[in-house]
Structure 1
Amino acid sequence: MSQSANTREARRLATERRIVACAQELTLEHGLDGFTMDDLAEAAEVSRRTLFNYFPSKIDAVLGGVPQQDDEGVEVFRAGGPTGRLMDDVVHVALRLITDDDLGRAELERGQRVVASDPKLLAAAHERFELMVGEYVDVILAREGEDFGRSRAQLLIRLVVAIFDSCLPSPLHGARTDAEQAADDRPFEAVFTEQIAAARELFA
């Protein structure tokens, strides 16, 4: 990709993230129904037309873009890579999604609190999740064969997602300890890898 194309993509991503951050903050402050798309455009300092070019609805703006795995990574996984061990390779795909999106733990936590704040957002996030699970289940079956079983593939994806969720403080758990607060300073990838290792020990 050329330098100019890289610059355009960086600007596009920065604008998208600014819109999502503003949409989430407005939701936390006023509720999902407490602001309009015009309010969001003003807060994000973009035109209404630009806003709709990025997100077709308020819910889409609040939830943000769907994480996209690169085609090359999917093909490597489908072919049995990169390690040849299914669990390790699923974790590798998950880490690529996390690191490619480059979201900090504070942003991930804010998104979690926002989704939990409104039933419509919770339903939309659940629908997105089910679609994503379906896509990756199909890739696992293409790699392992139909005999592996769709239910087993679904369980594997859901376990990895559950471990992902365990890396984020729940808004239902109240105040965090000093140790938990200090852990927030670590990269999310490090926390996720640590939780994967803990899960392996529990299932060993």
Structure 2
Amino acid sequence: MARAVIAREDFRVHDVGLRRQAMVTDPRLLVYAHERFEQLGSQGIEHIIAREGQEFDPVKARLLVRLVVAVFDTCLDSLADWTEGTEVRPVVEIFDEVAGATRDLVT
């Protein structure tokens, strides 16, 4: 599900770096981002429970949402660390690599 969402987005390397810089320098933007994360996280939990069934543990659903966010954030770190003159890897490719590393850690 997360991979499908990421594949639809257009991530420009320069924009990722600027947005990350804005987040750490503007406390109001950081508060807004956190509030938005909570809203989207709640929606993600609802979607997971709807997909998996009402018996699915909401704690596990919340953990899954946060894990996917951490994987995505790691992908954005890779983009933000990009240097001029090197090839820009597609975010979906980076996501697959980070998700695989995450799987290796928890299995």
Per the TM superposition, whether the score is higher than 0.5 is yes
Aligned to 2:92: 189
Structure 1 residues 110-189: aligned runs within 5 Å:
110-169=18-77, 181=83, 185-189=88-92
Structure 1 unaligned regions, length at least 5? 1-92, 171-175
Structure number with larger C-alpha Rg: 1
User: 1-side partners of 2:26 and 2:101: how far apart?
Assistant: 32
CA offset at residue 168 of structure 1? Answer: 2.4
CA offset at residue 169 of structure 1? Answer: 2.7
User: 1-side partners of 2:97 and 2:68: how far apart?
Assistant: 13
**Match status 1:95 vs 2:3:** yes
Gap change, CA 1:153 and 1:98, over 3 Å in 2:
same
User: What is the total number of aligned residue pairs between the two structures?
Assistant: 104
Contact in 2 for aligned 1:105/1:184 (Cα 8 Å): no
User: 2-side partners of 1:192 and 1:183: how far apart?
Assistant: 19
User: 2-side partners of 1:140 and 1:120: how far apart?
Assistant: 30
CA offset at residue 184 of structure 1? Answer: 6.2
Gap change, CA 1:105 and 1:192, over 3 Å in 2:
farther
User: 2-side partners of 1:202 and 1:97: how far apart?
Assistant: 24
TM-score, normalised via structure 1 length:
0.46
RMSD: 2.1
User: 2-side partners of 1:102 and 1:137: how far apart?
Assistant: 25
Query: Higher relative CO (CA 8 A, sep ≥ 6), structure 1 or 2?
Result: 2
Aligned to 2:104: 201
Gap change, CA 1:138 and 1:130, over 3 Å in 2:
same
Return the letter of the residue paired with 1:126. Answer: H
Contact in 2 for aligned 1:163/1:196 (Cα 8 Å): yes
For the residue of structure 2 that corresponds to 1:148, the secondary structure is coil
Return the letter of the residue paired with 2:27. Answer: P
Return the letter of the residue paired with 2:60. Answer: R
Gap change, CA 1:109 and 1:97, over 3 Å in 2:
farther
CA offset at residue 123 of structure 1? Answer: 0.4
User: 2-side partners of 1:140 and 1:183: how far apart?
Assistant: 38
CA offset at residue 155 of structure 1? Answer: 0.3
User: Percent of aligned positions with the same letter in both sequences?
Assistant: 38
Contact in 2 for aligned 1:164/1:192 (Cα 8 Å): yes
User: 2-side partners of 1:184 and 1:116: how far apart?
Assistant: 26
